[in-house]
Amino acid sequence: MVEQITGEQFLAADGVDDWRVLDSGEVGAVFDTGSFAKGVDLVSRIGALADAANHHPDVDLRYPSVTVRISTHEVGGLSERDVALAREISAAASELGIEADAGSG
């Protein structure tokens, strides 16, 4: 069974500095891709990571950014699954040379 964590517990985890806790009970991040093509690359990586984890975020691709929101539906909020996927998405963005917009989410 998946256990719910608080927003504070999410933010205390390592590797999630790109992410913000949203009023909706999700976490979100905006990645400044600088181009549509880089955004497509990031979305492709997010898709592969999500399928591997069987945990699927909401992804919004627009020029020049990608917005990602994650929550665990079965607990109606956040879980360690969200921490793990957020870390992996941030790492994938970093590998592509894409930075998060620190003020958004």
- For 22-72, the pLDDT digits (tens) are 999 999 999 999 999 999 999 999 999 999 999 999 999 999 999 999 999
pLDDT over 70 for what percent of the chain? 97
In the three-class reduction of DSSP (H, G, I as helix; E, B as strand; rest coil), residue 47 is classed as helix
In 3D, which of 99, 88, 79, 12 has the Cα closest to residue 53? Answer: 88
* CATH of segment(s) 4-100: 3.30.1360.20
Cβ neighbours for 7, distance < 8 A, ≥ 6 positions apart: 21, 27, 78
CA-based end-to-end distance of the chain: 28
Rounded-to-integer distance, Cα 95 and Cα 10, Å: 23
Higher pLDDT, 104 or 46: 46
Rounded-to-integer distance, Cα 93 and Cα 59, Å: 14
Prediction pTM value: 0.95
Query: Which neighbouring-strand residues pair with 65?
Result: 32, 62
